[in-house]
Every structure is written in C-alpha cells, then in structure tokens.
Structure 1
C-alpha cells in the first residue's frame, strides 16, 4: 500500500518514510503542495500525510480543495505549528481524517494511519480469501490452509494487490505503482521476478490460488472451485501420474496391434492408486501416445 508524505522537513519526512517502509508500506515524499497535487494524479494512494506550513501554502487549504474535488483518500494533518484546540477542530472540519501534533511516537502514527485507512472502505481490514489462501491486512499475514506462509515484503505486497482484486486482471503498471516510490530505481523485469517468486511460495505451500499471466496486460489471482491436489512431500509425484508415465513408455515401444495391451509384468509393478485416477491416467496416456504416433 502506498502513502504520500507532504512535508518540507526532510529529517522528519525521512524518519516517517523509514518507519512506513518497515511496516510494509511504500512511501513517496514531496515538499510542496504543487508536487503533492501532481503526485496524487500519478499514483493511487491509500493515505496522505500533510504538513500545514509548507513553502507554497497551508496544507489544510490543500486538503479542503482535494475534498471539494471529490477525493476520498484518507488524509492526516501532521504539524507542530498550530496546536490549539480550535485549529484541530478546523482541520477536521475541513476534511482531514486526523490531526496529529509533532512530535509523536512513531508506533502511534502507524496506528492512526491504519485507523483512518479502515474508514472509507469497510472491507479494507477484513480477512481476504482466495481458494485455501487467506490474507489478513491487519497483521499482513498470509495463510495457506490455516498455516502461516512467510514471504519477503515484495512478494507479500504483490499478493495483497492481487488478492484484493482476485479474479480480475491487475496491470503490471498498477503493481509497480504499489511497490515502488518515485525515487526507486526499478528494473524492467522486477515485477516478473516478484511474480515468479510469489508463485514459488504459493506452489510450495500447497495453495489452490494461483497467479496467471494475462499476456500483454498483467496478472490475475485465480482460485478453482475444486481444490487442486498437491503432493505433501517436496518432489513427490501423484501415483496416478506414475501409472500414466509407465503406460506411456510401454505403449510407445509397442506396435499398433498390441498398443492397447499392458504386459502383465508391467501391470503388476504399477503403484497402487485409486481406480478412478488410474483409469483416467491410462486413458490419457493412450490418447497422448496415439496422437504422437499418428494413429
């Protein structure tokens, strides 16, 4: 999730940006209201922190103007200039979601940001689900079949953006905007690498939700109605697949007249599998080999 910090105090902004990134946010920093207006049109922000006394005006006037233009992004005033009660009331009445006085504990700042982000969209902090995978935005925890799945920050952020739009295509550019600030240098294949690693985490944990590439557009998180059977042990192969493999080997080495017959020795050595799975595997193998031989 992306947050804009509008503050001409570089040291303060750096401190806020650092704690935001530690909490899994992407932080952009600008020092003027004109830059804030431009940034707000270029990137989707989940919250904006605005100082009052800025080089080109009062941050409160900017918040008021944003509200008049229809913006619903949560906005928090952060200032040390005006601490009177009437100033705080003025700020809240102008459209600010919170009015924070500097200095304040950074953990309280994060808590206040999360609190205002919960207000506009009722589902923002609810547990999200796709297949057997859940994501809890409150503690940023991913679980697969109830078991925690720990991933690096980048993969977790990508997954959050995808699961919030599960079943819908998310453009590559949208993922980049949610992951990187304006100051970050982003390689051309950064998203592809992140998606590749995310898929590895999901597949390795037995997730039924998978990321599909929509060529030329972006990515979509899909969860089939029926669970996908995933081997429990790393490197394990379903027994029906072994059946199909052995049948395919036999058929590929036989003549057309004997292609439908499995030698007794091979049949006896096939691993045990549910009859329905074994039958399906045999049929698939016969069809595949027949097509390959042009029968």
Structure 2
C-alpha cells in the first residue's frame, strides 16, 4: 500500500519512511504543499501523513482542500508545534483521521496508520479470502488452508492488491502505482516477474486461488472453488429429437415412458452419439406404436 509523507524535516521524514517501508508500505516523500498537491493528483495514495508547519503554508489548509476535492484517503496530521487540545480538535474537524505529536514512537505511528486503513472496512471481515487462501492486512500474513505462506515483500504486496479486488481485473498500471515510489527505478517487466513468482508460491502451497492474465489489460485473482461448473453442450440433433417427441406426446402419439427415456438420454455424462441414438430409437418406437393404433402400415424402406 502506498503512503505519502509531507514533511520538510528530512530526518524525521526519513525515519518515518524507513519504519513504514520495513512494514511493507511504499512511501513517497515531499517537502511542500505544492509538491503534495501534484503527487496526490497523479498517484492513488492509501494514506497521507502531513505536517502542519510547511514552507508554503499550513498542512491543515491542504487537508481541507483535499476533502473538498473528494479525496477520501485517510490523513494523519504529524506536527511538533501545534499540540494544544484546540489544535487537535481543529485538525480532526477539518477532515484529518488522526493527529499525532512529534516526537512519536515509530511503532505507534505504524499502528495508527494501520488503524486508519482499517476504518473504511470496519463493518466487514478484516481477513480477506479467495478460495483456501486468506490475507490478514493487520499482520500482513498470507495463509493457505490455515498455514502461513512466507513470501517476499513485493509478492505479498502484489497479492494484497489482487485479493482486495478478487474477481476483478487489476491493471498493470495500478500494480506499478501500488508497488513503486517516484524514486524507484522500475524495469519494463518488473510486474510480470512479480506475478510469475507469486504464481510459483501459490502453486507450491496448493492454493486454490490462481492469478489469471487478462491479455493486454492486467491480472485477476480467481478461485477454483468459485469457478462455474461447465456442462457439456447437448448435441443439436438430440435437442431436435426431444422437441419432436414432446410435440408427439402433446398429440397423444408418444407413450408417457418416452419422456423419461429422452430425459435419460440427455444426461451430460453420456456420449453425444449415445444421446442421439437413444432418442432416435425412442422416437422410432413411438411412431410405430402410433401407426399401429391408427391402423396404418409403417413403411419399411
């Protein structure tokens, strides 16, 4: 998941960024509101950390601006100067999701970021599932049939983005935006390599969740458990024969047992040739019986 840190104190921002990266987050850092405005307009951030006292303004004014523009990403105010109760109330009322004072425990910072990331899904099950695979965002653990699956950070991040959108196609661009910051040097096939390795981990653990490539678009996480049952197509000849038999039955020409015979012949498990042969034989018997009842001769040639 991708985090934006807006802080002109480079040492503090570096410490926060390192702590978040160690927990699997992707972090971008800018030092001014103008840069934050540009970054938020081009990248889909999952959370934003912003200082109040910045070279070009109060971070709280930018928070209000973001909320007015429709940005719903969780925002945490991180400040060392404005620490009164009134300031904290002002920040929360302006649209911030949390308000922290410097210096803070980096462990607490990470915990608070995780907490605000959980809030949009607070009414849902926090553990994400696809087939026999589970992902717990709180501890960033992947489990297959209840057993922990250890994967490198990059493959875990890709899996998180896919399982959060399970059943839906995730474009390559979305994966790149969630995996890399502006400073990262990204190779042209980095996502393909990550997907290849992720598939290897899933297959090696007997996971029923599979990553399918949607050619030219992206990737989708699907579960074998949720796959629709494919029923073999019934031969057109058998369907036509059944329609004739039903019509004859409506005219009183086909004996009642014929319907059950036809139903049995349409069993998808049987071979198409068998289906056609059974229906044809049943029709022949029916036509013979009808002709005999009406006193007509049945042609033999």
For normalisation by structure 2, the TM-score amounts to: 0.73
Q: Which runs of 5+ in 2 are unaligned?
A: 228-268, 272-301
CA drift of 1:226 comes to: 6.7
CA drift of 1:225 comes to: 2.6
Deviations 1:89-147 (A, max 9, x none): 11111111111100011001111111112223336771111111111111111111111
Partner SS, residue 187 of structure 2: coil
- CA RMSD, Structure 1 to Structure 2 (Å): 1.7
Aligned residue pair count: 229
Q: Which runs of 5+ in 1 are unaligned?
A: 228-279, 284-295
Contact 2:24-2:153 at 8 Å conserved across structures: yes
What corresponds to 2:139 in structure 1?
Answer: 139
Contact 2:6-2:29 at 8 Å conserved across structures: yes
Partner SS, residue 113 of structure 2: helix
What corresponds to 1:248 in structure 2?
Answer: none
Q: 1:16 to 1:226 in 2, by over 3 A?
A: closer
What corresponds to 2:43 in structure 1?
Answer: 43
Give yes or no for the alignment of 1:76 onto 2:76.
yes
Contact 1:72-1:120 at 8 Å conserved across structures: no
Counterpart mapping for 1:155-174 below 5 A: 155-174=155-174
What corresponds to 1:102 in structure 2?
Answer: 102
- The structure 1 segments of at least 4 consecutive aligned residues displaced by more than 4 Å after TM superposition are none
What corresponds to 1:181 in structure 2?
Answer: 181
Q: What is the distance in 1 between the residues matched to 2:4 and 2:154? A: 19
What corresponds to 1:151 in structure 2?
Answer: 151
For normalisation by structure 1, the TM-score amounts to: 0.75
Q: 1:90 to 1:207 in 2, by over 3 A?
A: same
What corresponds to 1:199 in structure 2?
Answer: 199
Contact 1:118-1:124 at 8 Å conserved across structures: no
Q: 1:195 to 1:150 in 2, by over 3 A?
A: same
Partner SS, residue 95 of structure 2: coil
Q: What is the distance in 2 between the residues matched to 1:93 and 1:124? A: 26
Contact 2:208-2:225 at 8 Å conserved across structures: no
Counterpart mapping for 1:1-295 below 5 A: 1-122=1-122, 126-225=126-225
Deviates more, 1:213-222 or 1:122-131: 122-131
